Amino acid sequence: MVPSLRRELEFLHLLEAVAVAAYEAHTVDEALLRALDEVCAYTHWPVGHAYLPGSNGVLAPTGLWHLADPDRYASFRRSTEQTCLEPGVGLLRGVRLSQEPAWTADVSADPNFLRAAAAREVGLRGAFGLPVIVNGEAVAVLEFFSPELLEPDESLLELGRHIGLQLGRVMERQRVEAMLRAGEERIRAVIDTASDAFIGMDEAGMVTEWNRRAEETFGWLRDEVIGGAVTDLVIPEDLRSPHRAGLQRFLDTGQSAILGRTLELRGRARDGREFPVELTAWSTAVGSGVEFSAFIRDISDRKRFEAELSRQALHDSLTGLPNRTLFLDRLAHAVTRSERGLGPVTVLVLDLDNFNRFNDSLGHAAGDRLLASVAERLRDTIRPADTIARLGGDEFAVLLEDTGLADAIRVAQRLVEALDRPFVVGGRDVFARASIGVDCGDPGVQTADDLLTNADLAMYLAKGQGKARYAVFEAAMHEAAIGRLELEADLRRALDLGEFFVLYQPVVRLGDGSVVGMEALIRWKRPGGEVVNPDQFIPAAEETGLIRPIGHWVLQEACRQAAAWQAEHKPTPALRLSVNLSPCQLQDPEIVKAVERVLVTAGLEPGCLVIEITEGLLVSEPDVAVRRLADLKHLGVRLAIDDFGTGYSSLSYLRRFPVDVLKIDRSFVSALGGAPEDAAVAHAIVKLGHTLHLRVVAEGVETAAQLAELRALDCDYGQGYLFARPLTVEAMSAVLAADRAGHRLGKVGEADSKPPAIR
């Protein structure tokens, strides 16, 4: 073999050896060391060493050596390891700068070679340097020393160039790998400190990643689960086969209902506990296969919080019952189901009777306790499948699905009976009875709104019929309700347009027939000329609150008129004007001031005004009544109880109220003049009144026989068609003038009365 060819072959062997060594090396240091060894083995040079650039850019010695005889070269090694190479001239600095291999024939004689003395000492002369190039930059310089003088050798330079590039590629790879490893560590750190569980899974469904939060969430340690089947570890039993099928479908078709989305699912812990999770999963292509990763969060707390929020939004906090919103929602669904062929839907609306009275007298806290107890009892009375809700205040509603009218009525009856037993609140027995309206809808006809409105109307009817009962909705109620709405509008207009007027019915002293006063009675003249009696509009005015302005107007008008009569006729004693006040007018705390102002404006003595109230108020709200009546009394006005005997007021109340007058209801007066038993009540009232030092007025005296009996009873005053009907101002003026002239109305009794016509 020609020597040059042999050399070429040896070069190739060397290059190959360096490459293999470099690739086999695990670290850059190892790669460099093996390169030093291989080059020295090839060249038979005894010393090889690597310089690496330090952080400050200076080439720094390393511990990477090839030393054929470590002892022999120990001093050179020491010297090298103390020598950093600043950029500039000198063999290695030149190599680094030019990025080309270079040699020096004899470093021991080279003044630019810093370690010349050390080299001399150990007999090193020829030196060869080669740069390791990465990305066009010298990242290391290898130096080799020989005891011989080195002659320039082009092919050696070429070899050095190749070795440098080869090592550069290895260093590059190692660097990238190191960076990747560092990156992976960073990623692992991120994953491990993540607040969500992180699970990696391979195509076979086996766990490849499992972070700390996954350990906490699912109760399995990482080491226990790596390589285990994800399905068996975290997925509830009923979801396992769908999960497997989904994975298979993705592997077959690339389609997935889960990947790339955030979903709420159920997870399963090691102890079998299942809980809601939020899952974000994705897939990553790895080589020809695919890997799956998922972040999983236990959302039990959030779900609990959401459930609590929705419970609060849809339930009444006092009673725990569904609220109006939830009731309407269920009702709407029930109506839809009913339209689809399920039986009829029935709604019951239940309103406690006189609950305000209870609230006012015992306080709101006790009122709340009562409401809660009522709710509980109502709930116990209906079937669990039915819905009972608190619509607000003291109003409840029940929804019965697939229930006909007959069954609904039975439920209503049961509810009425349930509330017939007292409740114990604050140590005392109290009653909370209710009026109930029932509407049973025809499937496909009534909407949810209709059902509720109709049941409401029926409930008002039940109240009107005397409370503590139920009423079933009928179509006529609707018309009545519409009629009431129209009436309300008409009443407002009547007030604005001055369609009201007042009639006055004389009150007569029974003893001598003289007129002692008059009662103001309102009338309404509608645009067509029809005159409407108060019975037909006062209830509506009371319901709508319009009674306040209307009542105020009557009071003003009547007081003004009475003052005028007083001034005109100057009777002694002064005439007394009776004005009716509705319970709701008396509930208004401003009423006392209003009466006072009206009296002052009209110039009427307070003692000339008699305020008539019905027993109803005394019974339903005795505390309010006592307070208000005392204040009115304080003004100097007189107080009368109207329609006495009809309102079931306990007699003991009478002593609490500062009243002056009792008016015997017409029904008892009309019983007079006949059988003695029928007359008993009127007798008793007169006696009672006198015992309490009250004046007694008999209402509705129509016949002479009644008058005679009242006189015999020593009843003080009377009012009735026998004396006069309610009269216009002019007619009343005429009566007053006649009375002054000595024409007593009482005398009319002898012949049957011809009441003056209302004009």
166 or 703: whose CB is closer to ligand C2E?
Answer: 703
Which partner from the list ligand C2E, Mg ion, none does 31 bind, CB cut-off 5 to 8 Å by kind? none
Shortest Å distance, C-beta 710 to Mg ion: 15
505 sits near ligand C2E (criterion: CB under 6 A) = yes
Smallest separation, CB 721 to ligand C2E (Å): 4
Q: Which is nearer to Mg ion, 557 or 699 (CB)?
A: 699
Rule CB under 6 A: say whether 551 interacts with ligand C2E: yes
Residues 703 to 742: which contact ligand C2E by CB under 6 A?
Answer: 719-721, 726
739 is a site residue for Mg ion (CB under 5 A): no
642 binds ligand C2E (CB under 6 A): yes
Name which position in 316, 401, 621, 702 contacts ligand C2E (CB under 6 A): 702
Dihedral angle sign, alpha carbons of residues 721, 723, 724, 726: negative
494 binds ligand C2E (CB under 6 A): no
Please identify, using beta-carbon distances, which residue of 351 and 643 lies nearer to Mg ion. 643
How far is the C-alpha of 361 from the C-alpha of 142, rounded, in Å? 105
Of residues 394 and 642, the one with the C-beta less far from Mg ion? 642
Out of 561, 580, 670, 703, the residue judged to bind Mg ion by CB under 5 A: 580
Q: Indicate whether 536 belongs to the interface with ligand C2E (CB under 6 A).
A: no
Closest to 396 in 3D by CA, of 287, 467, 316: 316
Q: Does 615 bind Mg ion (CB under 5 A)?
A: no
How many other β-carbons are positioned within 10 Å of the β-carbon of residue 403?
18
Strand pairing class (661-664; 638-644) = parallel
Question: Which residue from 196, 439, 456, 612 is in contact with Mg ion, where contact means CB under 5 A?
Answer: 612
Does residue 746 touch ligand C2E according to CB under 6 A?
Answer: no
Interface with ligand C2E (CB under 6 A), residue total 25
Tokens standing for residue 239? 């979801």
Q: Which of 703, 647, 651 is nearest to 679 (CA)?
A: 703
| Residue 505 binds: one of ligand C2E, Mg ion, none (C-beta under 5 to 8 A by kind) | ligand C2E
Distance CA 688, CA 616 (A): 19
- One-character DSSP codes across 697-721: EE----SHHHHHHHHHHT--EE-ST
Helices H / strands E in the chain, number of each: 29, 26
Please report how close the Cβ of residue 612 comes to Mg ion at its closest, in angstroms.
4
Q: Is 38 in the site for Mg ion (CB under 5 A)?
A: no
Name, in order, each residue with C-beta under 8 angstroms of 397's C-beta and a sequence gap of 6 or more. 327, 347, 348, 349, 350, 388, 389, 391, 452, 455
> What does 621 bind: ligand C2E, Mg ion, none (CB cut-off 5 to 8 Å by kind)?
none
Distances (CA, A) of 199 to 228, 233, 269, 283: 12, 11, 14, 12
Does residue 456 belong to the site contacting Mg ion (CB under 5 A)? no
How far, in Å, are 81, 547, 548, 739, 747 from residue 581 at the CA level?
118, 9, 9, 28, 31
Find, among 410, 407, 412, 419, the residue nearest to 397 by Cα.
412
> What separation, in Å, do the N-terminal and C-terminal C-alpha atoms of the chain show?
155
Token pair belonging to 381: 């009375």
Helices (H), 465-530: 475-497
Q: How far is the CB of 390 from ligand C2E (least distance, A)?
A: 34
Of residues 119 and 696, the one with the C-beta less far from ligand C2E = 696
Q: What long-range pairs does 448-452 form, CB within 8 A, spacing at least 24?
A: 448/328, 448/331, 448/332, 448/334, 448/335, 451/331, 451/335, 451/345, 451/346, 451/347, 452/328, 452/331, 452/347, 452/349, 452/397
Between residues 191 and 613, which has the closer beta carbon with respect to ligand C2E?
613
| 643 interacts with ligand C2E by CB under 6 A | yes
User: Which of the choices ligand C2E, Mg ion, none does residue 151 contact, using the CB cut-off of 5 to 8 A by kind?
Assistant: none
The kind and range of the H/E element at 98 are helix 91-98
Collapsed DSSP state (helix, strand, coil) of residue 682 = helix
Both tokens of 110, joined, read 């080279």
Q: Which of residues 553-612 bind ligand C2E (CB under 6 A)?
A: 554, 580-582, 612
CA distance 266 to 258: 13
- Compare residues 353 and 642 and give the one whose CB is closer to Mg ion: 642
Among 143, 215, 316, 643, binds Mg ion (CB under 5 A): 643
Report, in Å, the least distance between residue 631 CB and ligand C2E.
19
- Over its C-alpha atoms, the chain yields an Rg (Å, rounded) of 55
Closer CB to ligand C2E, residue 382 or residue 745?
745
Candidates 521, 559, 577, 654; binder of ligand C2E (CB under 6 A) is 521
Q: What is the C-alpha separation between 418 and 428, in angstroms, rounded?
A: 18
Q: Which is nearer to ligand C2E, 375 or 696 (CB)?
A: 696
| 642 scored as a contact of Mg ion (CB under 5 A) | yes
CB 744 within 8 A of CB 512: yes
Task: Name the one range near ligand C2E by CB under 6 A: 225-233, 301-309, 534-542, 744-752.
Answer: 534-542
Provide the 10 A C-beta neighbour count for residue 316: 21
Cα–Cα distances (Å) from 632 to 167, 168, 607, 638, in that order, read 114, 111, 11, 8
Question: Least separation, in Å, of the C-beta of 515 and Mg ion?
Answer: 17
Q: Stretches 205-213, 218-226, 487-495, 693-701: which one binds ligand C2E (CB under 6 A)?
A: 693-701
Which of ligand C2E, Mg ion, none binds 721 (CB below 5-8 Å, type-dependent)? ligand C2E
418-427 contact pairs (CB < 8 A, 24+)? 418/377, 418/378, 418/380, 418/381, 419/374, 419/377, 419/378, 419/468, 420/468, 423/370, 423/373, 423/374, 423/377, 425/362, 425/366, 425/369, 425/370, 425/373, 426/362, 426/366, 426/369
The nearer residue to ligand C2E, 456 or 699, going by C-beta atoms, is 699
From the list ligand C2E, Mg ion, none, pick the one residue 720 interacts with, judged by a Cβ distance below 5 to 8 Å according to partner type: ligand C2E
Query: How far, in Å, are 4, 6, 14, 43 from residue 1 at the CA level?
Result: 8, 6, 18, 19
Binding mask 644-683 for ligand C2E (x = CB under 6 A): ----------------------x-----------------
Instruction: Supply the minimum distance, in Å, between the C-beta of residue 751 and ligand C2E.
Output: 16
**Using rule CB under 6 A, residue 745 touches ligand C2E:** no
Q: Which does 77 bind (CB under 5 to 8 A by kind): ligand C2E, Mg ion, none?
A: none
**Residue 726 binds which entry of ligand C2E, Mg ion, none, with Cβ cut-offs from 5 to 8 Å by kind?**
ligand C2E
Which of 151, 271, 496, 535 binds ligand C2E (CB under 6 A)? It is 535
| Site of interaction with ligand C2E (CB under 6 A) | 505, 520-522, 533-535, 538, 551, 554, 580-582, 612, 642-643, 666, 699-702, 719-721, 726
| Site of interaction with Mg ion (CB under 5 A) | 580, 612, 642-643, 699
